[in-house]
A and B are shown apart, each in its own frame.
Chain A
Amino acid sequence: MTVSDEELLAAVRAGDTDSLGTLVLRWQEPLFRFVYRMLPQTEDARDICQETFLRVLKKAHRFREGSRFSTWMYQIALNLCRDRLRKRKRWKLVMSERREFDEQLATAGTALGADDDPARAAESREQGQAVLRALHEIPPEQREVLVLKEFEGLKFREIAELLGCPESTVKSRMYYGLNGMRTALSRRGIRR
């Protein structure tokens, strides 16, 4: 019988670090996938995943009974992502050049699989890159909702729980986020 995340965390609180190892094995892939989609760099995603698991260990005593471990873990990771994005924005003031989300841009538009026609494949990639750039132009609170909804497939109720805001707020951010993306794409000449 599978031990629940909450039971494993209770064991961690009691000093059983093997249970943390089990949690890491169980959640490392979905967590990395989530963080990678919030940030454009593999190295940053690795750092944040590592820091998230470390904080889970250090703050296990603060976990509220009755809460869901996954929501708590994602909240920790999300806060770390936000901190990293704020720092990156600040570095832009003093650094003349930074490679922004090159990795994601390189694979944008390939999610639907290979296209036999090279011209269409190239067009698909260019469009994908334009979409990802547009995604990073909208406000971060809207971008978070779009990523969680479109890339992670969470329900609005789950996103609301993760972000700690009402479901209506999540839907509103989704609505304005999609509109904002459309405006950004129109500026780039991407229209239906």
Chain B
Amino acid sequence: MKKYKNNLVFKPTLLFLFLFFSVAIKSEAADEKDTKDRNNAEEGTHKNFSGSSGIQLWNANCGRCHNRPAPNKYSDGQWEIIVHHMRTRANLTGKEASAIGEFLKSAN
């Protein structure tokens, strides 16, 4: 009787705990991804195909020849023109130019 009673309590409890932690762990992973995506969007860390983010590309390419003006020096439209002009000068790929442009517009 005692064993029967224990089975009635123990197994459902175990099942419940298992389900609870499964859901909790899955939610935590989803939150972390969302946080990363949100941070990426906020920082403009848009990835290009070689894995470098917009801010990394901006640091690496735009600082090689000259000082980098602050992102808030120009409007979104002006940054589009400047990045298009600099793409030729610095031999950037289209994806790199796009990633840099998105970062600058998100940070201005």
Does chain A bind chain B? Answer: no
